Structure 1
Amino acid sequence: MNWSKYFGDRKFYRSMLTVAIPIMVQNAITNFVALLDNIMVGQVGTVQMSSVSIVNQLIFVYNLCLFGGTSGAGIFTAQFVGKGDQQGIRYTMRFKLWIGALISVLALLIFGFGGSFLIGLYLKGQAEAGDAVRALQYGRSYLSVMMVGLIPFCLTNVYASTLRENGETMLPMKAGIIAVLINLCLNYILIFGHFGAPELGVTGAAIATVVSRFAECLIVVSWTHRHREKNRYIVGLYQSARIPAKLTRDMIAKGTPLLLNETLWSGAMAMLLQCYSIRGLSVIAAMNINSTLSNIFNIVFIAMGNTVSILVGQLLGAGKTEEAKTAASRMTVFSVLCSLATGLVMAAFHDVFPQFYNTTPEVRTLAGELILVTALLMFLPAFTNATYFTLRSGGKTLLTFFFDCFYVWVVNIPIAYCLCHFTDLPVVLVYLVVQASELLKCIIGFVLVKKGIWLNTIVDN
């Protein structure tokens, strides 16, 4: 076997980690502070924690819609960077701004007029009527504040993604670190009412998040415009709204499947939680604890997905298809091996982390069991994530739609729905079956990447 196809030399890993580590660090700090935030809200009570978890699932749908809407243009950005085409980068960034604005306005309208209905969908399970009413009230209060942070989050996403696609990963990381530290400090002050501040509970957590998003946006946007000699594409960005018609059509053609994929995939995640929620608020609380810790341990393979998209996209833009193929294989192997290691560490602490929450013994036990399942199967999403970004880097966005989103709706959700509604199986066993179904997706992904149908240059030479 030719091991060099799957394992690179020191130079390869140095170039890879130069891109990946800043993303990992930013995600690690962001998720660690989110973990502390989650624990702080968890100290207030199980109902409050469940309501925040529900709203964050709805916000997660917006976040991924935004990511999907701008990712199509991001594929072109990475390949324009490989060509050294500054005007092309400028066009793609304008496209991101338009799409981001449209998605944000739609989200504000949906949350503004339908927020209570959406939150209520998760409160139809085995819960006391009083708890459901309280959860709805807390959720509405939290959502109304979080909506204020959608616009700065959108701008940060557009600017930071473009910076990363140009190889500038340190500035978004630093801005993210500052933002999460602001969030952490304000959480401590506003949730519990320290230093003379009012005790605002879940509303205080939302205010802290929104303030940190404005701070991050200010740092990223102002730095980009101040360093025009380094970010030449920013010169003249707002002097015109023009984007060539052909490029616009190409970005829409490549981006629409990604937008639909991220929208429907995030909707699928919300649907999965809704399936589990019929077993009661305790299940929502336990799922929240599990996902919070999982996000900490998932940072390696999440960052590697972004790294695959950037580096492989640049190689394809430069016409280096064989190098792109080898790089994708090496980064996929690296991601899976790292996830095996981090999964074992996570499994070792599966019953320790839930003890930090001020909740019932039932929730702590359930959360620990869910964490153990997630940890032992972490290598499966690591592989499918790397595969997804490999296919996407070559512009095969329609294929990634069927590979990613279509699979969740056709396989994962029917399994979860049927087992939750028509059987008495313990929710942990249901969760295990749903997570293990990713194995078939791994096989499909391996075949698609092996065929090499994603090895395309999509920008004009």
Structure 2
Amino acid sequence: MALADYTKEFKFNIKLATPVILGMLGHQVVALVDNIMVGQLGSAELAAVSLGNSFMFVAMSLGIGFSTAITPLVAEADGEGNREKGKSSFKHGLFLCIVLGVALFALVMFSKPLMYIMSQPPEVVDLAMPYLTLVAASLVPMIIFQAFKQFSDGMSMTRFPMYATIVANLVNVLLNYMFIFGKFGAPELGVVGAAIGTLASRIVMVFYLWYLLSRQKKSRFFVVGIKIFTLSQAMLKKLLNLGFPSAMQMFFEVGIFTSAVWLSGILGKNPQAANQIALNLASMTFMVAMGFSVAAMIRVGNQKGLQQFRELRRVAISIFLLTSVLSLIFALGFILFNGDLPKIFLDYDNLALFADNHEVVKLASQLLIIAAIFQFTDGLQVVALGALRGMQDVKLPTLFTFIAYWIIGFPISYYLSMHTSLESMGIWIGLLAGLTASAIMLFIRFNYLSKKFIQLARE
């Protein structure tokens, strides 16, 4: 095929992915706003949010990863025009997400004492404990929202989760301002105030998305009159077979970034704060790639339902190319502004904190150079993963992500950070190695499987 056969899909891919990207950036903005506002209080407070959220990221990775099983099933049913199959996929997915949300909340609460034995700065742990209690409670509405979002994405109605996320962000910013700094008559709660904003905004997000979907002709049938406890064992098994490996894929990736938070905490509060800043900025660009991963999952799922495997491969490759172009732009941005971007998170006018803030910015700017390099492999691996989920291929990709992040990436991060002078830089070199290995293996798997589908269709 000629290059034009792929580039002509760019416009539609961008149209489909943009609401997903904005919605995901919205989730990231919740964390960004928390970090910027809390960062004004000092590096210890910023490190506390980082430590608390590290537990949340692990739990959220399981919930969000599991919920992605809903999208390809709904997309396939939508491609077939089978509404009953689509509603069954969503209903069973919603039930499992509710159960999982409650279980993850309990798991985080039981895990809280681990912070005292992880060699983290004591003042950071003391600040993180009350913050984590409230943020952990927000897991339940967060995972329920994901069920609705994945259904909405599978129906190619990607703009509605974006609207819900925008409303949630407005609620979060207002409540953060009130409760972190004690404005409009609210108590000044510092780090705990940020947790209140996060919990309230996620509750609002669920109800508003349900309201939007219930008002749309295309989706009303699916979200109204759900008999949540009338369940099919076969459909539950199908979702578990797709959802569990998907959850583990995200868990392995998020887990290595969480380990970066913990390793940097061993190095001290300033390295931990610098890691959090670099991670926040890299996560913003990752959300763009994630948006195109969802677009790949939707479009590949549709083409699978239609049994159009040549189109499936062409569409997926067009998304790979588009993501690579955007990765180049992000990489250049990180390189050109690596010294300026970290300053957004800190109060440079506070003379009492100047020495700590200067060290944090210096460290974060170095990490952003490595983040610039892994823009390409991070984008490729997540889009390949989305395409494979659309093909309902999840078992081998799960093994690949484990090997990439925990057999290759983490040992490099640990050795270079704990046993060489690279320290924080060593952590991120390990991240780069893991992402690169994941991208190579997942792309090879997609290339093999998509060609195999085409060959089988011929026969």
TM-score (norm 1): 0.90
In the alignment, what sits opposite 1:325? 313
Distance in 1 (alpha carbons) for counterparts of 2:409 and 2:46: 26
Query: Of 152, 159, 163, which residue of structure 1 is paired with 2:148?
Result: 159
Amino acid across the alignment from 1:34: A
Q: Is 1:44 equivalent to 2:33 in the alignment?
A: no
Deviates more, 1:358-367 or 1:256-265: 256-265
Query: Of 51, 57, 63, which residue of structure 1 is paired with 2:54?
Result: 57
Distance in 1 (alpha carbons) for counterparts of 2:433 and 2:256: 17
In the alignment, what sits opposite 2:246? 258
Deviation at 1:33, TM superposition (A): 4.8
Identity of aligned residues (%): 23
In the alignment, what sits opposite 1:8? 7
Distance in 1 (alpha carbons) for counterparts of 2:299 and 2:382: 15
In the alignment, what sits opposite 2:124? 135
Query: Of 231, 237, 240, which residue of structure 1 is paired with 2:220?
Result: 231
Deviation at 1:175, TM superposition (A): 1.0
In the alignment, what sits opposite 2:175? 186
Distance in 1 (alpha carbons) for counterparts of 2:307 and 2:216: 29
Distance in 2 (alpha carbons) for counterparts of 1:290 and 1:152: 28
Q: 1:410 to 1:214 in 2, by over 3 A?
A: same
Distance in 1 (alpha carbons) for counterparts of 2:168 and 2:451: 37
Amino acid across the alignment from 2:381: T
In the alignment, what sits opposite 2:287? 299
Q: Is 1:70 equivalent to 2:58 in the alignment?
A: no
**Structure 1 residue ranges without an equivalent (≥5):** 126-131
SS in 1 for 2:307: coil
Structure-to-structure mapping, 1:265-344, within 5 angstroms: 265-344=253-332
**Structure 2 residue ranges without an equivalent (≥5):** 348-352, 455-459
Q: Is 1:450 equivalent to 2:447 in the alignment?
A: yes
Q: CA RMSD in A?
A: 2.2
Deviation at 1:430, TM superposition (A): 4.4
Per-residue deviation, residues 300-331 of structure 1 (Å, max 9, x unmatched): 21211111011111111111111010000010
Per-residue deviation, residues 188-209 of structure 1 (Å, max 9, x unmatched): 1211112222111001000011
Deviation at 1:116, TM superposition (A): 2.5
Distance in 2 (alpha carbons) for counterparts of 1:43 and 1:84: 52
Q: 1:381 to 1:239 in 2, by over 3 A?
A: closer
Q: 1:430 to 1:250 in 2, by over 3 A?
A: closer
Query: Of 76, 88, 93, which residue of structure 2 is paired with 1:91?
Result: 88
Amino acid across the alignment from 2:211: S
Deviates more, 1:133-142 or 1:442-451: 442-451
Q: 1:151 to 1:433 in 2, by over 3 A?
A: closer
SS in 2 for 1:452: helix
Alignment: residue pair count: 445
In the alignment, what sits opposite 1:129? none
Deviation at 1:216, TM superposition (A): 1.0
Deviation at 1:450, TM superposition (A): 1.9
CA contact 1:394–1:456 (8 Å) conserved in 2: no
Distance in 2 (alpha carbons) for counterparts of 1:388 and 1:120: 36
Structure-to-structure mapping, 1:101-112, within 5 angstroms: 101-112=98-109
Q: 1:375 to 1:270 in 2, by over 3 A?
A: same
Distance in 1 (alpha carbons) for counterparts of 2:342 and 2:167: 27
Q: 1:202 to 1:446 in 2, by over 3 A?
A: same
Per-residue deviation, residues 372-391 of structure 1 (Å, max 9, x unmatched): 22023311111111111112
Distance in 2 (alpha carbons) for counterparts of 1:369 and 1:414: 21
Per-residue deviation, residues 364-423 of structure 1 (Å, max 9, x unmatched): 110111112202331111111111111221111001101223321111011112222333
Deviates more, 1:355-364 or 1:383-392: 355-364
Q: Is 1:206 equivalent to 2:203 in the alignment?
A: no
Distance in 2 (alpha carbons) for counterparts of 1:227 and 1:115: 42
Amino acid across the alignment from 2:3: W
Distance in 2 (alpha carbons) for counterparts of 1:31 and 1:251: 27
SS in 2 for 1:278: helix
Q: 1:81 to 1:201 in 2, by over 3 A?
A: same
Deviation at 1:157, TM superposition (A): 1.0
In the alignment, what sits opposite 2:116? 120
Distance in 1 (alpha carbons) for counterparts of 2:182 and 2:149: 33
Deviation at 1:224, TM superposition (A): 2.3
Distance in 2 (alpha carbons) for counterparts of 1:179 and 1:235: 22
Q: 1:81 to 1:120 in 2, by over 3 A?
A: farther
CA contact 1:388–1:403 (8 Å) conserved in 2: no
SS in 2 for 1:364: helix
Distance in 2 (alpha carbons) for counterparts of 1:308 and 1:254: 17
Deviates more, 1:22-31 or 1:201-210: 22-31
Deviates more, 1:257-266 or 1:322-331: 257-266
Q: 1:455 to 1:91 in 2, by over 3 A?
A: farther
Q: 1:67 to 1:163 in 2, by over 3 A?
A: same
Q: 1:251 to 1:167 in 2, by over 3 A?
A: same
TM-score (norm 2): 0.91
In the alignment, what sits opposite 2:457? none
SS in 1 for 2:163: helix
Deviation at 1:222, TM superposition (A): 2.2
Query: Of 374, 379, 395, which residue of structure 2 is paired with 1:377?
Result: 374
In the alignment, what sits opposite 2:24? 27
Deviates more, 1:443-452 or 1:199-208: 443-452
Distance in 2 (alpha carbons) for counterparts of 1:250 and 1:456: 21
In the alignment, what sits opposite 2:135? 146
Amino acid across the alignment from 2:23: Q
